[in-house]
Every structure is written in C-alpha cells, then in structure tokens.
Structure 1
C-alpha cells in the first residue's frame, strides 16, 4: 500500500515538470525574441547627427606657404689678392662700421712689387728725358742744315738726313712717353694690390659668418674667396617664400602677412608682401613663384635662416553668416530621383548650395548663396537664414553601424 502511494507521487511530479517546461520555455523564448526585435528596430531606425550652428562674424581667406628669414642686404666680403691672413679683426656677431679694418693679408710681397714698379717708372721717365734731349739736338741740327742749304753751303741730302734724324727722335720720344705711362699704370696696379691686402667692411652691419683664420692662405686666382658675411641691418628682415601657381592669382603686392616660427610657436608676427618675382621655378612638376615679404625685427628676436610658416591674407569680410565647410558637403540618404531633382534646382553658376537642417525626425534642404570660402568656414546667405540655425555636418548611427550609401552629388 505504501509502494503504490510513492509511485503516484512520482508520476504527479513528472507530469508537473513537463507542464512547466512546455509553458515557461516558450514564454521565455517569445520574450527574448520580442526584446531582440525591439532593440534591432530601434538601432535601425534611430539616427543621430553631428550638428553645427550658423554663426555671424569675421571670415578671412588666406594662402599658406613656408619660407626662410634673411636680412634685406647681405654682403659677401672677399679678397681680390692671394696671400696669407696676417690678422683677423672681426668675429661672429661683431658690429662693424663701413671702412673699418676687419682683416689683414701679409703685405711684404706686394710692397716689394710696388717698389719694383716705382723703379721701372723712374727708369722710364729718365729714358723719356733722354729721348727729349735727342729730339732737341736733332731739331737744332735740322734747323742749322736748313739755313746752310738756303745759303748753298750744304747739299740737299744733308738737310734730308737731318730731317730724318729729327723725325726719328720725335718718334723715340713718343715711345719713351708711352713707356712712362705703362710704368705708371703698373705702379698704380701694384699700389692697388697692396691696398687690397687690407680688408675693410663695405657696409655698417653685423658679421654673420667668418670663414678664415690667422695663417690661412687665400687664393684669388679663379674667384674671390669669401672671408666674411655681413648683414646690413637685422632690425629689418625679409622672408623669401614660394607660392604655387594655383594660388598666385589670389595674392598681390601690399597684402598683410602673418607668420610664425618654430622658436616662438605661440607668437604671431606680421609683415607685408612687397614683391612677386616674375621668374618661375619648377619643383616636382609644380610651378612656383618667389614672393618677398618685409618684416620688422626691431627687437631682434628673429634670426637669419629661421623657417617661417606664412599666411597671406587674401580677403577679409566682417559681420557675415558662416557655416563649417562640411555642412555644404553633407548629403543625406535620399533616392536618386530626389537628389537629381535637387541638383537641377541649384544654380551652380551663381554659387548656390544646400544646407540640411533636422526637422521632426527627418531632414530638409535649405538653399543658400555661397560666398567667400576659407579653410574651415564658408560665407552663406539666404532669405530667413539667421544666426543660431542648426545645420547637419554628418550622420552618426548606433551599432550595428552600416555604411551610408553613396548618393548622387549635388554639385
């Protein structure tokens, strides 16, 4: 009797478990499916945007380039004669005045040449005086023979011979005179060479480099060796920069320039574009034009050779509405027909574009006139467009992320 009751209880428990399994498990599966579908539907339907607002303010269009700082006037001081450096009287960063002695070449050889040419000149002058005495003697003999011939006291041949001696003496005197001039020129050249052994500063300025030492031999046979490099005035400098031909039409002489250097990254310096040189140069198949920018360096903070990152201000507009450039490039996911229709409505020749603004979970287009375009922002104008209007820059979808389909470009 006890065994029978135990069997009935076991059967009832087994039946209860089966009923529970077939009821609870389907409910769990159904709930999980509903949750999964709801989450996927939310992920698929919910879209967020990167937004920006229309702002009012100043807009500047500029052209950027890099260049090198250099003094306005730089003079390479060389030697016109060869010799050994006897003394150096200027060094790096030395302030020098025009006419100041900055180096001396050993002059003994040049002094000897001056003495030799002086002796040659003295000899030539003595020969000239001797030739003049011979001229006077030949002239007296010619005059005497001519008077004697008039009295029939000498033959005509004697007169002709005296005339020939007189003419020969005159020619010899001219030769001696030319020899004196030649000796004078040689002496002057020797004196100039002697003077060139003393090296003077050609301008007021500062010595940027010294390329010789005492005892060094300089040879000026082929070209004048450089001894010093002198900058005239470091308080006024210039930047030489190369501008691409694609932008050269946007700049002109007289435009304001801003630039930075690596030594002072947080400071912006100012300059003025003074020259656009017409001679082009080609680098990597790109045509470049050299532009000169004058810079005030009264505090002497800028050094020759520094690399300058230059920004040439092309145009500036005040109190205009502007949006990020990305706002005009944004295209929502629309049908091809819709995009083609929008594109036909735009007058690209009159610089029209589209902005997209969020509206009740969707987006709507806003036609605008596009003005000045700078590096990051663009001037826009449209009826009813005001400061603070929200525009779309890009789509941002929740996971799972799907790539946005590429639509037809509007412009």
Structure 2
C-alpha cells in the first residue's frame, strides 16, 4: 500500500509538471503571434498644403560627346615620317601631329615658282613693248571733227578734209573756200597727197582719223592692223602669269598638306597609322575632339519631344559622380525623329553651363530637362489630386472631399489655384518625397 502511494505521488508530480510546461509553451506562442501582427492603420498619409516651386521635367539618359570632332588627313600621297601623338593626348592649336615625306611636294613648289617668274618677266616685256607703241594698232576713233595727231601720213583711207590745229606749224596751211576750186591735177587742202611718204599737210591734225600712238606706214599697214586687238601679247602674257599663280598656290597647298596640324586644341581620339605607313590623299589619319566644349547627346520619346525647346534649363548627373548635379541648357532639338521599334524618338543636345573637369568621351549620364516651372504657389503632392479633380482633406470632423482648381501639374507637386488654403491637411496615400 505504501509502495502504491509513493508511485502515484511520483506520477502526480510528473503530470503537474507536464501541465505547467504546456501552459508556459502556450503563453510563449500566443505572445509571439501577437508581436508579428502589424499595428492597425488606415493605409493613408497626410501632408500640409504649403507654398513652393512646381516643376515639370522630361527625364532621359544620354552620353557625353565633344562639341566638335575633327577628322584630319594628309593632302598628298606619301610615307609617314613622323607620328607625334597617341590616342588620349591633349594637343594645342597649330601643333604638328604627323608628317609625310615632302620631297616631291617641295620640288613641285620650286618648279612652279620658276614658271611664275618666267611668266612675270614675259609680261613685263610685253607691257614695255606696248608702252613704246611699236607695231601698235588703233583701238578707237575720235568723234567727227575732232583733231588728232599722227606721226605719219595715212594712205588713201584718210579723211577728206583737214582741220587746222591751234598749235604752230612749220608750214603754212592753205585755207580753201567753198567758191575756190584748185586747178586740175593739184591736190586740194582738203585731200592729202596720194603718196605714202612725207609730212602731213598743215599741222598733221586729222579729224575722225586714226587713233594716235605709234608709226603707221602708208599703204597696206592699215589693212594688216584691221581686225587685230590692241595688247594681245600683253593679254597672253597676263593669262600665263595667272595660270602660273594658280599652279603655285596648288603646289604650296600640297606642300602644307604633308603635315597635319591641330586646327583647334583638344584631345586625340584615334590615330590610324604609324611611321613607315603609306597614306593617300583624303584619308583620315587623326581624329581630334574639342573636349573643352563637351556636351550631352540624348533622345526622348515622341510623347515628350513637343515639350522641349531651345534654351530650356536642365541638370546632368554623371554615372561616376551620382551625388553631383551640373547645370546645363538645351542647345539642339532634332526636327526629325528616328524609329526605335514601335516608338519614335527625337534627339536632343544639352550643353553644360560650366564644363566639369575630367570628363570622359562616351560616358553615360542622366538628364532632366525643365519644361515648365512656377514658384511661390500653393502646392500639394501630385498623388493627392484625384483623377476627378478632387482632394481628400482631413479635418477634426472627419475627411472631406473638396473640388480644386489645379494649375501646373509637376512630376512631384501640383499647383493648387483654388479650393485649398495654406496649412490644410490633405491625404496623399503615402507619396514618397512629400514636402516636410
């Protein structure tokens, strides 16, 4: 009997311990489940209506590119004798980047210079001959009645009358009248002698006759001069000089083209050859970029392209400097779009207000172009304005729906023109970046 009681007491203690353990475990589970439940919430957030800036913007990505890129080559065929730069080198304006053998070009300049000297000498001789009057032919005739002086008596083609000159003459000039007729066989004062030699009657003044200057033999010389242009030898010599000048200029350009010089300061992007390589005219040997005018090239979908205009402000963020924003401005918007699958995109170029240092050509960027902005206006987060133009206002008596008149709808905020006052508390449904 005593043994039975001892066993029962042992089993009773075990049962009590088991029940106590179950109570403890149940309490722990209940406490754990209670802590895992979220705190009750109505699922909304509120902010106060304030005054500030409302901005609309178009955001896109782009790449850095030089404002100017020059492709440079030689203006003559030859073998490269000097290659002074490598990709990545910074060069100055006028610096020689590469050269080819200039022997042939130098010889051509010397030859064309000699040809020009000969042509100029021939032109000088022709002009001196023309100034001397030897063999010159008339170029024009004076008006009828105008006296001109000739050195020789002209032939049968001379004018029919002679007008005395005011200058003194060594021989008296006959003065025939209308009623006087000279004897037969005797030349009158109005007709020159038929002979080709001798001094002209009177003072040698012949109205309406040949142009002065030069000796004009009598007889067939006048026929020989007819149709010949005055100064033809001079004209031919001048043409020769002009041709020689053109040839010399071309030769000098070719000689200058044996060297590639930097037209602007910048960074060398590519070099196409090395010393000993054969190059030809017109090929690109060096590509040079003006990195001082670095800009961003981007594109936007057609839905936003209409908002972009020249001069709009922008901000640029570089991939390797995400915490910095650089001011920029739109300098070009492409008038023609390019197909990108089912979309059409329009190119836009943004230039830095101040170009940052140590930019890399082709580096990726984020661009945000401001397409509209107002300052000092009532605003609420854009998510607080419902599609029907109402705002949920929280008051002490509960939430109220109010109709509002909106102005500029920005990316983060929307301008409120009527319906709210500064300090009203509106429900935003937890919009990120709400004004504090």
Bin for the TM-score computed over the shorter chain:
0.5 to 0.7
Q: CA deviation at 1:319?
A: 7.0
Q: What do the CA deviations read for 1:254-300 (whole angstroms, capped 9, x no partner)?
A: 44312222222333332233x35462324246555443322145551
Counterpart residue number, 2:402: 367
**Which secondary structure state, in structure 2, belongs to the residue aligned with residue 214 of structure 1?**
coil
Counterpart residue number, 1:9: none
**Which secondary structure state, in structure 2, belongs to the residue aligned with residue 310 of structure 1?**
strand
TM-score scaled by length of structure 1 = 0.61
Structure with more of its chain in helix, by fraction: 1
Q: CA deviation at 1:64?
A: 0.9
* Closer/same/farther in 2, CA of residues 133 and 280 from structure 1, 3 Å limit: closer
1:185 maps to which of 246, 249, 261: 246
2:83 corresponds to 1:88: yes
Q: CA deviation at 1:378?
A: 4.3
* Closer/same/farther in 2, CA of residues 298 and 244 from structure 1, 3 Å limit: closer
Counterpart residue number, 1:159: 221
Distance in 2 between the 1:134 and 1:382 partners?
Answer: 101
How many residues align? The count is 318
Structure with more of its chain in strand, by fraction: 1
Larger radius of gyration: 2
Distance in 2 between the 1:119 and 1:49 partners?
Answer: 99
2:68 corresponds to 1:73: yes
Q: What do the CA deviations read for 1:95-127 (whole angstroms, capped 9, x no partner)?
A: 333222222121111122223323433554566
Q: CA deviation at 1:62?
A: 1.9
Distance in 1 between the 2:312 and 2:324 partners?
Answer: 20
Structure 2: any 5+ residue segments left out of the alignment? 1-39, 138-150, 156-194, 200-215, 432-436
1:208 maps to which of 230, 249, 269: 269
1:279 maps to which of 324, 330, 335: 335
* Closer/same/farther in 2, CA of residues 297 and 213 from structure 1, 3 Å limit: farther
Counterpart residue number, 1:295: 352
Structure 1: any 5+ residue segments left out of the alignment? 1-46, 330-347, 395-411
Distance in 2 between the 1:258 and 1:81 partners?
Answer: 46
Is contact 2:393-2:425 (8 Å) kept? no
Q: What do the CA deviations read for 1:333-356 (whole angstroms, capped 9, x no partner)?
A: xxxxxxxxxxxxxxx6xxx22538
Counterpart residue number, 2:324: 267
**Which secondary structure state, in structure 2, belongs to the residue aligned with residue 63 of structure 1?**
strand
* Closer/same/farther in 2, CA of residues 185 and 262 from structure 1, 3 Å limit: same
Q: CA deviation at 1:52?
A: 1.8
2:196 maps to which of 133, 144, 149: 149
Counterpart residue number, 2:368: 311
Pick which of 186-195 and 263-272 moved more.
263-272
**Which secondary structure state, in structure 1, belongs to the residue aligned with residue 80 of structure 2?**
strand
